[in-house]
């Protein structure tokens, strides 16, 4: 995962905090869908996050290591997940965290007006369309609220589940990298890169060209 771009972040918070000082702690962005609440991660989520992040079917597919303890998860929440534009996915039915979704800048999304979408979900919840549902709302937020021009999304070769999510969302294939470094796992993999532009998103959702 890349780190958030500070310029975009600061402009965004400056606008949201206008006239009231720095209220970023008091007014976190919360998004909502039919079945989900998307809200910032806090260290109190460590236990529930660890429940799913300790499963070897989750992190390695997305390029990160299996979490080793609740304390390890707490540290990762503090240092990686608790940033602007990364959301804890809460199932309304239970009120508990089940995964993560977010937008970030990295080598793929370097410009201020583009970000990459990333996500993961606890195994017991796979196959219910929850991440596509969350991603639809995050894409709306990206194009409408943040004013992004392009959202990238990528998956490692063989990750058919993530490939399928990106197809269902309407991302368009761009290119394949034969050898992408996966720094947290100390290896390289083949990676496939997809893109959605604001025009494509608008056309898909309103049937109108931009
Ligand atoms: C990729 C992931 C986020 C998908 O989330 P999801 O909410 O289950 O997505 P969907 O319900 O739309 O399922 C997507 C596809 O996964 C497959 N799938 C669903 N449940 C499955 C299961 N229990 N076992 C195997 N495959 C399954 C199906 O092919 C499905 O496509 P379909 O809707 O056409 O049947 C989730 O599998 C995950 O967290 N994987 C590990 C982390 C990861 O790969 N992150 C993305 C990195 S790029």
- Report the alpha-carbon distance of residue 105 to residue 182 in Å, rounded: 16
pLDDT at 56: 98
Q: Are 84 and 30 in contact (CB under 8 A)?
A: no
121 CA distance to ligand 1 middle (Å)? 8
CB atoms within 10 A of CB 119: 20
Q: Which residues of 35-66 are buried (b: 16+ CB within 10 A; e: fewer)?
A: ebbbbbbeeebbebbbbbbbeeebbbebbbee
pLDDT < 50 positions in the chain: 1-26
- Looking up tokens 């199932």 gives 91
Query: Which CA distances in Å does 71 have to 47, 54, 94?
Result: 9, 12, 23
Atom of ligand 1 nearest to the CA of 159: 44
pLDDT at 170: 97
pTM for the full predicted model: 0.89
pLDDT at 207: 74
Instruction: Check residue 43 and report its DSSP letter.
Output: G
pLDDT at 25: 41
CATH for 10-204, options being 3.40.630.30, 3.40.50.300, 3.30.70.20, 3.40.630.10: 3.40.630.30
Mutation pick for ligand 1 pocket among 60, 87, 127, 128 (CB with most ligand atoms within 8 Å) = 127
pLDDT at 27: 54
Residue 189 backbone phi and psi in degrees, to 5:
-140, 165
- Report the alpha-carbon distance of residue 73 to residue 80 in Å, rounded: 10
- Ligand 1 neighbour 35 (Cβ under 6 A): no
């Amino acid at each position: 995962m890349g780190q958030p771009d500070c310029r975009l972040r600061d402009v965004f918070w400056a606008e949201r905090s206008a006239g009231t000082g720095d209220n970023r702690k008091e007014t976190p962005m919360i998004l909502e869908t039919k079945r989900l609440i998307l809200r910032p991660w806090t260290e109190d989520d460590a236990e529930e996050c660890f429940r799913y992040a300790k499963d070897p079917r989750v992190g390695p597919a997305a390029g990160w290591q299996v979490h080793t303890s609740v304390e390890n998860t707490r540290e990762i929440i503090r240092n990686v997940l608790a940033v602007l534009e990364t959301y804890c996915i809460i199932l309304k039915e239970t009120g508990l965290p089940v995964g993560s979704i977010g937008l970030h800048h990295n080598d793929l999304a370097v410009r201020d007006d583009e970000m990459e979408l990333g996500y993961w979900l606890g195994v017991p919840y796979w196959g219910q369309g929850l991440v596509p549902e969350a991603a639809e709302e995050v894409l709306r937020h990206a194009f409408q609220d943040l004013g992004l021009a392009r959202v990238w999304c990528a998956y490692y070769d063989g990750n058919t589940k993530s490939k399928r999510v990106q197809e269902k969302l309407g991302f368009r294939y761009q290119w394949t990298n034969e050898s992408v470094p996966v720094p947290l796992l100390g290896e390289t993999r083949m990676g496939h890169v997809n893109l959605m532009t604001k025009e494509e998103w608008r056309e898909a959702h309103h049937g109108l060209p931009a």
